[in-house]
A and B are shown apart, each in its own frame.
Chain A
Amino acid sequence: MPSDALKSRRPRTEHWVAPLAETPLQEVDAADTSGTPRSLWAEAGRSLIRNPVFVISALLILFVLFVAAFPQVFTGMDPRHGDLSLANRKPDAEHPFGTSRQGYDIMARTFWGARTSVIIGFFAMIGSTLIGGTIGALAGYLGGWFDEVISRITDIFFAVPLILGAIVVATRLGEMNLWTVIAVLSVFGWTNVARIMRGAVISTKSQDYVTSSVALGASSPAVLLKHVIPNAIAPVIVTATVNLGVFIVAEATLSFLGVGLPTSAVSWGGDISDARDALRTQPSMLFYPSVALAITVLSFIMLGDAVRDALDPKARKR
């Protein structure tokens, strides 16, 4: 307690009251029903649309998807038609991107190559997310010895680099096609999804609303599917989006190394591999498939970043 000497320093022990007109009293905890209701997803959507990174990457991705679906709109050439007499042409009016050593039209190859990359990236993303998501969600939700075993298995797969594992399997399988490449990428690419799903599920399942649901009488699978996974899915979506880009790169790498798609397939990786010897004589041969690959991968990774920003509850005010 301060001494009396100190206390008496306050000159007036005034009692001041603000005029009520300036400080109107409001109802306690009044419910605000103005404006339209907004779910978390709607909020995330709104903040996405205002994010230039999202807009740019989304436009690029739409363009890539359109190219993949309708490459013939952009080029009348057959990407598989090689004419050796036309090999190694510099860009000209007939072949705006030039031709390759096999006499393929590079522009046709670049546009048609988008289809291979998008299909592989998309399905490998779905495959790995399904495998990783299921494993991660079960491990996180059930816990205990199941989690221990699954986590160690995940670690083992995690320790094998994606490309290395794919190369080993690819060389064992011999000739690959689109679907075997997708399968190989999914089998070696699910681990980061599983880890993220597991972590998100563990943090979600301790929330009160999950306990509430259990106490309401909901069954375990229902709680997992209806409450835990919807709330844990956001970081998985982000990872999956970024993974899509990673898988496109992985396919290109495998094709580049010659263990991916057969040489007859139209693929950016294969074309980049074919063009490496012509780097000094005819850089356009390497340039176009590389740029197409870079733009596609970059836009998916940018999209992942933008989605992360939108879904991260900490970045957004309540």
Chain B
Amino acid sequence: MTTTSVTPTPSGAPSGASQPLLEIKDLEITFTTSSGPVKGVRSANLEVYPGETVAIVGESGSGKSTTAMAIAHLLAKNGAITGGHILFEGRDITHVSEKEIRVLRGDQVGLVPQDPMSNLNPMWKVGSQITETLAANGIAKGAEAKKRAVELLEEAGLPDAQRRAEQYPHEFSGGMKQRALIAMGLAARPKLLVADEPTSALDVTVQQQILDHLDHLTGELGVAVLLITHDLGLAAERAQHLVVMYKGQVVESGPALELLQDPQHPYTKRLISAAPSLASRRLVSSAERAEIREQAQESASSEAGRGAETDQDAVIEVQNLTKSFPIRGKVPWRSTPFLAVDDVSFSLRRGTTTAIVGESGSGKSTVAQMVLRLLEPTSGRVLFEGKDIADLHGSTVKALRRRVQPIFQNPYGTLDPMYSIFTTIEEPMRIHGIGDSKSREEKVRDLLDKVALPSAMMRRYPNELSGGQRQRVAIARALALDPEVVICDEAVSALDVLVQAQVLELLNDLQAELGLSYLFITHDLAVVRQIADHTLVMEKGKVVEQGTTDEVFHSPQQDYTKRLLAAIPGGSIPLAGAETIDVEAPVGLADETGGEGQGGPDDIVDPFAQAGHV
């Protein structure tokens, strides 16, 4: 039911086949900040034709979301359109009244927001929230709206929609919430759907299914889609036309495949070469690395005290590691054990990288916590150089801490905001009483140099640094004690692709230089291909597949691995100089569809949150 409350005012050409649905001309958006006006978007141009999918690709801060939000007049309070025009069906909507834009919103332009977790009101039933949308757009009311809401949820691919409509958002998994939001976005049958990073918060397999469904649905309804994404691979796979934004400007636009295969602007070239899903292979040639490994082995073999049954080459060996958390049942005294990690064994060889990959809830981070001895295993052993780390006490634990260092995911949480960069990097040396203040300062300078930060940085505070720089400081801190093993828990997941590539490169160089061994925990298979020698695939606490990275990528044995590989966005797009991932996804759903709040892969109850409540 398409309502025509906004009649296009014919500006020149009648609404023929060649008229774009949405046209953005020389758009300029200015934000008023405490340090003066800042141009968020400058001279941006783009067109969306009826029924086509256009993707805006860019890093955080490139102005891609700002551009999209400007269409629906949803800019932040301090932002304003200071130049250019936005035309919808030929009508200039740049400066129309709030009332007119409200008619346009929802009715003509639907929105799918980024974060499914925070965009549904937890106090309302999902069905009611869609009913509200329908009523607000004057489409349906009362019982009719309720019926329509169920139909919409069904259409968005939610099984058992009748019952689901009566549930609250917390009973939905992330993927299901996103489906509900898509249902809301399409409720009024808009002509244009603006999807702002619709699947960035979801696991790859869920992402793939949601996007497949969205493609199918918008194709069937003839809805044009403006997709905002940071993922070039995903954009290329989903859109016919790409618009690349950089620092508030459109630098290149063109047909998706052409743009990828023949990028013109240096920024696009840089983006394509950095996108892990597109151009991935091990960063350093294997021959060079084998040499490093040999050296590391030689230096290690002189050390004594190894158990006979352990892998001679392994710096860390994990044997039958299991961790179960008690999950509170319906009554407090009856808790059921939840196996977060189930019988995991692997070894990390000196000077190499072992990656543990899995979706959220697979138990990969729990393994990292146990290897770091931040968490006590329920059973099984972690051997560091042949010694069980559970047997260490007091000063020997401190010695272990010195040799095994972590790097965590969130660049904003990993540095103490009260400490300057110098104090942060110096802290480990102070704790272990290494050197005097002068030699420590020398070392801090040296470490900053290693992570390619100017030593002038050391008087600064974390709030003055970008995410990538913070992560580099975290790496410098981890290296301050000259560790042998570094555990990277999603260390690059929160970074933009270019910065991510830079940090991966850095980690790789440091490995070659210092003979480090990495245990790399990630959800991103594309990153694994760039950094790892060995790969473990985990699903629901179990290792489902392990082998060399090449084996896992070229001949995956398990359905789950195949599904993960097939879900890498843009993996099958042929590019010069890059190998493609050509794996057929096995039939069957990986999604949350069967779940009763707990079924989905993205819906495993967080054991830490649970344990914290006891």
Binding site for B on A (CB under 8 A): 1-3, 6-11, 13-18, 20, 22-23, 25-26, 28-29, 31-33, 37-41, 43, 207-209, 211-218, 222, 227, 230-231, 317-318
Contacts and interface: CB of A to CB of B under 8 A. Distances in A.
Contacts of B258: 13, 15
A39 B50 contact: no
Given A20-B265, A216-B427, A222-B431, A29 B251 contact: no
Contact of B416 (A6, A10, A13, A231): A231
B477 A212 contact: yes
A201 to B, nearest CB: 13
Chain A facing B: main interface SS: loop
Nearest to B267: A25
B416 A17 contact: no
Nearest to B17: A9
B499 A15 contact: no
A215 B413 contact: no
Contacts of A2: 51-53, 218-219, 222, 240
Given A215-B401, A215-B406, A23 B50 contact: no
B249 A18 contact: yes
A217 B432 contact: yes
Given A15-B254, A15-B264, 14 more contacts: A1-B216, A2-B53, A2-B240, A7-B51, A9-B50, A13-B258, A17-B251, A17-B264, A20-B265, A28-B270, A33-B460, A215-B401, A230-B416, A230-B418
Chain B facing A: main interface SS: mixed
21 contacts: A7-B240, A9-B50, A9-B52, A10-B52, A10-B241, A14-B254, A15-B253, A17-B251, A17-B265, A29-B498, A29-B502, A31-B454, A37-B460, A38-B463, A39-B418, A41-B418, A213-B427, A215-B404, A215-B406, A216-B477, A317-B33
Contacts of B404: 215
A23 B267 contact: yes
B464 A38 contact: yes
Contacts of B51: 2-3, 6-7, 9
Contact of A15 (B20, B259, B454, B469): B259
A17 B251 CA distance: 6
Contacts of A217: 397-398, 401-402, 428, 431-432
Counting contact residues on chain B (CB < 8 A from A), the size range is: 35 or more
A214 B408 contact: no
A1 B215 contact: yes
B265 A208 contact: no
Interface in B12-49: 17-18, 20, 33-34, 47, 49
Contacts of B459: 37
Contact of B499 (A26, A29, A32): A29
Given A10-B52, A37-B420, A216-B405, A23 B241 contact: no
Interface of B: 17-18, 20, 33-34, 47, 49-53, 215-216, 218-219, 222, 240-241, 246-247, 249-255, 258-259, 262, 264-267, 270, 372, 374, 397-398, 401-402, 404-406, 408-410, 413-418, 420, 427-428, 431-432, 453-454, 456-457, 459-461, 463-466, 468-469, 474, 477, 481, 498-499, 502
Nearest to A14: B254
A317 B34 CA distance: 10
Looking at A1, A33, A215, which has the most chain B CB atoms within 10 Å of its CB? A215
Contacts of A31: 453-454, 457, 465, 469
Contact of A38 (B34, B265, B406, B461): B461
A28 B499 contact: yes
A3 B416 contact: no
A31 to B, nearest CB: 6
B374 A214 contact: yes
Contacts of A26: 247
Contacts of B262: 15
A121 B252 CA distance: 65
B468 A25 contact: no
A4 B215 CA distance: 14
Contacts of B251: 17-18, 23
B374 A29 contact: no
A201 B51 CA distance: 52
Given A2-B52, A2-B53, A40-B461, A215 B405 contact: yes
B418 A40 contact: yes
A163 B224 CA distance: 66
Contacts of B408: 208, 211-212
Given A217-B401, A222-B431, A9 B18 contact: yes
